[in-house]
Chain A
Amino acid sequence: MKVSPYLVLALVLTVCFTLATGIEPRAATWSQHSKSDNVFGMLFGDGRRLFANQFFTMADVYFHSGYYPSIFDLREEGPAEIVAESHGHTDSPEDELKEDFLGKPKDWIDRFGRHFRITEHTHLERGNEREILPWLRLAADMDPQKIETYTVGAFFMRENLNESREAEAFLREGLRNNPNSYEILFELGRLYNENYHDSDRARNVWQLALRRWLQQDGALQKENKLGFEEITVHLARLEREAGNWQSAIDWFHAAQKVSPDPNALQEQIDVIAKKMAVPTSSTNSQPH
């Protein structure tokens, strides 16, 4: 018996359609079961974290315009400079010396080869910081739990590129992936305070950040003292600007407990205390 090929085709299509209707709802639940939020997660599994670290390093390489040590060069281990920059750290002459990983030329090949290499330590500036963003985007896609990616990316977007909305969106994405991150909340507070000048929202976000910091276990709290200091000092400054002197002093006192330089904070407390002691007719609100 000869069967028409059109009939066979129709049969195959019917089978396909039937199978598709049966499998599709199950496939939807498979994707819900998977913890991976994106295609990279499915492709690489936990290996994507390695790629994320590499992409984050690439952002630092770009930040230095290619002046970066290889695995063969000796350099003191430390956080990437884009992280330090996002915490307000600027290179001192001592730092510059430490980062001169090339040293003196070892021989004529090394000396001549340096005419072709990048041998100057510079940082991107004047809006060129945008060039690090693709690597941070990739790092975030590869490892959504890498918190530094969001805070660093948002810092450069709001501080150097005047892209506050993009920075906020990036931080909120980070917050969705890391709801307990005090670092992202802290950066979000900075964005509200410094870019939107919305001190009420900044205060609320920083206070939430502080609660998240306190929810960590003891060992983590000891490791992340800088985070506590940053949040409390920023809260103190915010209260000072708002004229809430006593509250500002309280936050500075809290920061002093973990600060490596409590005397500097004491000076700020003294200045506020002097202001409090002088009765004025200004609109400064009384401490509460």
Chain B
Amino acid sequence: MNTIWALAGVVIKELYRRKDFYVLFVLTALITIAAGMVNFFHDPKIVRYVKDICMLLIWVSALLIALITTARQIPAERESRTIFPLLAKPVTRAQFILGKFLGCWLASGIALLVFYIFFAIITGSREQNWPWLAYLQSIWLQWAMLAVVIALSLCVSIISAAPSSTTTICFIAVVGILLVGGHLNTVALHQPQPLQTIFYTIYFLIPHLEWFDIRDRVVYDWSLVGWLDCVLATLYAAAYAGLFLLLTWIGFRRKNLNM
């Protein structure tokens, strides 16, 4: 376990050494503050559009940070040939994969925490209300979703040639699932065979990441999601993340590491 933590620690250090996070955070902060400063009909109590914009930016930024950080892990190690001394030590390939996953996941979690603190400060200062439990649920579910995304990205990075293509493929897949995934069953109903079966198969196979998006509940001040539902959703995310990590390990186990 120490080996996995050591590998994860390196990835976390990488997060604050690189500029990606800072750029995305500053952009999010600037856009949110600029949006918050706009005066609509001289009414200072209008706040939901600021929350909406900020949450959208947090989602996009967190997704990009997770994808970009993960996609370059294995290719970078191979390209710089640091993977050979690493694997020459008593580090198995499974530990290597788990360490990279844990590092990326924790790094994304740290980034999410910073983003949500900013979000809480901005919205709380305007509406004088801090629904901490709603924020906690939102951050937890988003983090759980990122676990699936990171595992998927690691899996694709084994097959894909370059980090850029991994990032692009995963970004399209994740955004596609978030936007369309939950509606594939409705779409399937209106398709002739065999398209209907294909659509339904995809619908039941893909991880339903849209469950984890409870932005609307936070923005529109709805009640909390049931805690049991949160636990079940977390188990669902863990199952998919585990599946993708298993596939990654299977692919990586016999992979020729020479470029």
Contact = CB atoms under 8 A, between A and B. Distances in A.
A115 B229 contact: yes
A65 B40 contact: no
A115 B225 contact: yes
Interface string A147-168: 0000000000100010100100
Contacts of B204: 109
Given A115-B225, A116-B213, A116-B225, A66 B49 contact: no
A131 B225 contact: no
Contacts of A110: 182, 185
B217 A133 contact: no
Interface string B188-214: 010000000000000110001011111
A70 B183 contact: yes
B45 A118 contact: no
A137 B40 contact: yes
A113 B232 CA distance: 11
B187 A134 contact: no
B41 interface: yes
Nearest to B214: A116
Nearest to A165: B42
A157 B47 CA distance: 16
B183 A134 contact: no
B226 A163 contact: no
Chain B contact surface mostly? helix
A135 B43 contact: no
A130 B43 contact: yes
Interface string A60-78: 0010011000101100000
Contacts of B88: none
Contacts of A127: 45
User: Which 4 pairs across A and B sit closest by C-beta, in order of nearness?
Assistant: A72-B183, A66-B216, A65-B220, A115-B229
Interface of A: 62, 65-66, 70, 72-73, 106-107, 109-110, 112-113, 115-118, 127, 130-131, 133-135, 137, 157, 161, 163, 166, 170
Interface of B: 38, 40-43, 45-49, 141, 180, 182-183, 185-187, 189, 203-204, 208, 210-214, 216-217, 219-222, 225-226, 229, 232-233
17 contacts: A65-B221, A72-B183, A72-B186, A73-B186, A110-B182, A115-B225, A116-B211, A116-B212, A116-B214, A116-B225, A130-B43, A131-B48, A133-B41, A133-B43, A135-B49, A157-B41, A166-B41
Given A130-B45, A161-B43, 18 more contacts: A66-B216, A72-B180, A72-B186, A73-B183, A106-B186, A109-B204, A110-B185, A112-B229, A112-B232, A115-B225, A116-B141, A116-B213, A116-B225, A116-B233, A130-B46, A131-B47, A133-B46, A134-B38
